[in-house]
Structure 1
Amino acid sequence: MNIVVAPDSFKECLSSKKVAKAISKGILNVMPIAKIFEIPISDGGEGLLEAILPNAEGRLVSIEVLNPLSKPIKATYGILKDNKTAIIEMAKASGLELITEHEKNPLVTSTYGTGQLIKDALEKGCTTLIIGIGGSATNDGGVGLVKALGGKFLNANGIGINEGGGNLNQLSSIDISNLDKRITNCKILVACDVSNPLIGTDGASWVYGKQKGGSDSDLEFLDYNLKHYAAIIERDLGIDISKVPGSGAAGGTGAALLAFLKGDLVNGIELILDTIGMKEYIKKADLVFTGEGKIDEQTLNGKTIAGIAKMAKQYNVPVIVLTGKIGERIEGLYKVGVCAIYAIANQPMSLSNAIKNAPVLLQECTSNIMRTIQTFRIT
């Protein structure tokens, strides 16, 4: 039996690689002769490097950048074998995984470190940038990123505003005269895992701000600030990015990459599946396992599971999903190719215990599924 194991990460719990290992162990416990293709996946968020580099020759580059709270850290990105294509994972420099729970604060967190990764790739001669913008800890509209590349965001006194989405209301003018000129010669593909606009009830702040540490009053303030930011961009650059699908990704970083770097927002999972040649693996498969930390109505909006299921459906390959939590309104996933969805917890337990035992829970749940499959194959 040929089985593709292609999960996304379980956010703030397990990387996609570790999830794939646990699922594979569960399969082999029951069916040791199964041929398994482990392909950790990312839809543009955490795990982008793990998803692409093992399946495309390249190297890792490590540099010092500023994390979301402007503290120095080491962050990595990839350069493919052509020495012209960089794979930049925003989460490595500006991600939630880099700060503790009590440090989360979208009013002050910044994307500056992601801009530093882009700048280093330009200095190394890269002319194609694939930038995954999921998993961020930020809501600054990508202002920090653009600052790192030479852009200036000034208050009424001509002084640069401070980092974070909480300071965008002070923005009076934008100066991009010193923006890195090498950007104009770059092809920039933005792997985006959501289709949310920049502002409004479906926008960056209201939908994702709470998971980044924002209170209800913070979210209202942040959305107001992004509206002001969008208005200044439209006035100074002549571009209205407020309602563009995907502009709200990564706390508005999608908007900045559109407006300032002229990037192309593309469906992250489709770009990555194409880059790694996933279609060839699925063509040969009898079964696909995938999964991520939580399944809900957002999973249909450009997420890993929907992308894999749609591809597998073309070849009549069944897809089984494993997850930590099943949310509401997931019925649409069955229409795009998912056959079954399993929550891995086998009894009531705290979140901390679920996170601690996630590898074992994944393995045991997979083994039980394989026993059921084996029973029907025998009979």
Structure 2
Amino acid sequence: MRVVVAPDSFKGSLSAAQVCAAVAEGVRRAAPGADVAAVPMADGGEGTLDCFLSARGGDAVEVAATDPVGRPVKARYALSGDGRSAVVELAAASGLPLVEDVPPDPMNAATTGTGELIADAVRRGARDVLVCIGGSASTDGGAGLLRALGVRFLDAAGVELPPGGAALARLASIDDSGVPAEVRATRFRVACDVTNPLVGPDGAAAVFGPQKGASSGQVAELDAALAVFADAVAARGGPRVHDLPGAGAAGGTCGGLVGLLGAEPSGGALLVAEAVGLPAALDGADLVVTGEGRVDGQSAGGKVVSAVAALARDRGVPCVALAGGVAGPLEELHALGLTAAFSLADGPRTLAELKAGAAPLLAAVAEQAVRLFRR
């Protein structure tokens, strides 16, 4: 029997790798000769680097970068063992927590540091870069990131604009002639789990700007500046990113990556699944076991459980989810390919008790679930 174990972490309790180990113990109790393939998963947020390194091998590379307000910061990204693939988390160098010690600067904060991480990965040979966005401190359309990769943003006099989203209001032209050939040859994918457009009442500035300290007046300025940015992207033959679903993610960084680097946006869990090799691991599987801290109706919206279930369904493989809590409605998850979901609770327990005993409880429930499918 071949069982693939592909869970998310149980936040506050177990990492995805620890969940895999506990489930594998239960699988082997039920089917001692089982071939168990552990593929720790994530949804493009916290834990993605570790999942990538666990599945692909390689190194967590630490480099000197620039934080959202221009200060030096040490940040890391993941580089695969063969050096051809990398995972970069925007929050590592451009995240809001990095600037909690200073007054908010929503007009001038930039994504420069994330671009510096990407540039380092490309210099080392990476030609497939997964950019996990979220938690951004800026609303600059990804201009800082792109500037670090060789793009120049110029005003009407041909002078390069300073960092930050507000400066984009003066944008007259975009010059990408300085982008290195190796950057142009790189495939960029963006893990994006929101559908907000770049501009407008549901756009990057309107929805996420206040979280970064922007006043109502600053939100209006930033929204107008991003519209100028989107117009400039379209004027040079790029796609229209004004109302592109997801373009507003991370202060418009997704829109900038799509518009100027041809990046491919998709749900985080599906991109992570591809990056860690889950589709190949599913070949010949008899059962897939996934899971996360809680499985409910929201799990169908791009969470790890839904992504794993869909991949299993496409291969005709039954898929079981294990979770600390299971609550309906689950019809959408079942339609996506989830065969069944089981809670770890073996009786009345508090959340603290479930977290403390998660590993043995996972092993016990996994054993019982596998007994239904063993051959």
Give the TM interval when normalised to the shorter protein.
Answer: 0.7 to 0.9
Give the letter aligned to residue 230 of structure 1.
A
Does the CA-based 8 Å contact 1:45-1:90 persist in structure 2?
no
SS in 2 for 1:68: coil
Does the CA-based 8 Å contact 1:20-1:40 persist in structure 2?
yes
How far off its partner does 1:74 sit? 2.1
Q: TM-score under structure 2 normalisation?
A: 0.74
Unaligned runs of at least 5 residues, structure 1: none
Deviation per CA, 1:195-222: give whole Å up to 9, x if none.
6232345544455556x54578489535
Give the letter aligned to residue 356 of structure 2.
V
Give the letter aligned to residue 129 of structure 1.
D
What residue in structure 1 maps to residue 133 of structure 2?
134
What residue in structure 2 maps to residue 45 of structure 1?
45
Does the CA-based 8 Å contact 2:269-2:303 persist in structure 1?
yes
Does the CA-based 8 Å contact 2:279-2:311 persist in structure 1?
yes
Give the letter aligned to residue 366 of structure 1.
L
Mapped partners of 2:356, 2:150: distance in 1: 47
Does the CA-based 8 Å contact 2:288-2:312 persist in structure 1?
no
1:366 matched to 2:365: no
SS in 1 for 2:46: coil
Give the letter aligned to residue 334 of structure 2.
Y
Mapped partners of 2:356, 2:57: distance in 1: 32
How far off its partner does 1:7 sit? 2.7
Does the CA-based 8 Å contact 2:151-2:177 persist in structure 1?
yes
Mapped partners of 2:297, 2:69: distance in 1: 30
How far off its partner does 1:43 sit? 3.6
- Structure having the higher Rg: 2
Deviation per CA, 1:274-333: give whole Å up to 9, x if none.
343323544435341222678664x5454432210101223332321536897x986422
SS in 1 for 2:291: strand
Mapped partners of 2:107, 2:82: distance in 1: 39
What residue in structure 1 maps to residue 146 of structure 2?
146
SS in 1 for 2:311: helix
Mapped partners of 2:239, 2:3: distance in 1: 47
How far off its partner does 1:267 sit? 4.9
Give the letter aligned to residue 54 of structure 1.
S
Deviation per CA, 1:24-53: give whole Å up to 9, x if none.
437747975666543221343333332333
What residue in structure 1 maps to residue 189 of structure 2?
190
Give the letter aligned to residue 25 of structure 1.
A
Mapped partners of 1:105, 1:331: distance in 2: 44
Does the CA-based 8 Å contact 1:53-1:59 persist in structure 2?
yes
Give the letter aligned to residue 185 of structure 2.
C
Mapped partners of 1:216, 1:340: distance in 2: 46
Mapped partners of 1:87, 1:175: distance in 2: 27
SS in 1 for 2:190: strand
1:18 matched to 2:15: yes
What residue in structure 1 maps to residue 253 of structure 2?
253
What residue in structure 1 maps to residue 289 of structure 2?
288
Range 306-315 or range 328-337, more displaced: 328-337
Does the CA-based 8 Å contact 2:169-2:226 persist in structure 1?
no
Give the letter aligned to residue 131 of structure 1.
L
SS in 2 for 1:227: helix
How far off its partner does 1:186 sit? 1.3
Mapped partners of 2:83, 2:317: distance in 1: 38
Matches within 5 A, 1:279-358: 279-282=279-282, 283-291=284-292, 297=298, 299-313=299-313, 314-322=315-323, 331-339=331-339
SS in 1 for 2:73: strand
Q: TM-score under structure 1 normalisation?
A: 0.74
Does the CA-based 8 Å contact 1:66-1:112 persist in structure 2?
yes
Does the CA-based 8 Å contact 2:273-2:279 persist in structure 1?
yes
Give the letter aligned to residue 21 of structure 1.
Q
Unaligned runs of at least 5 residues, structure 2: none
What residue in structure 2 maps to residue 241 of structure 1?
241
User: Are the structure 2 counterparts of residues 26 and 9 from structure 1 closer, same or farther at C-alpha, using a change threshold of 3 Å?
Assistant: closer
Deviation per CA, 1:127-165: give whole Å up to 9, x if none.
x132222333243211110122233345678462343x4
1:75 matched to 2:75: yes
Mapped partners of 1:365, 1:255: distance in 2: 43
Identity of aligned residues (%): 28
How far off its partner does 1:21 sit? 0.8
User: Are the structure 2 counterparts of residues 293 and 171 from structure 1 closer, same or farther at C-alpha, using a change threshold of 3 Å?
Assistant: farther
Mapped partners of 1:6, 1:200: distance in 2: 38
How far off its partner does 1:258 sit? 1.8
Does the CA-based 8 Å contact 1:193-1:269 persist in structure 2?
no
Does the CA-based 8 Å contact 1:155-1:172 persist in structure 2?
yes
- CA RMSD in angstroms comes to 4.3
Mapped partners of 1:129, 1:200: distance in 2: 32
SS in 2 for 1:117: helix
Does the CA-based 8 Å contact 1:199-1:243 persist in structure 2?
yes
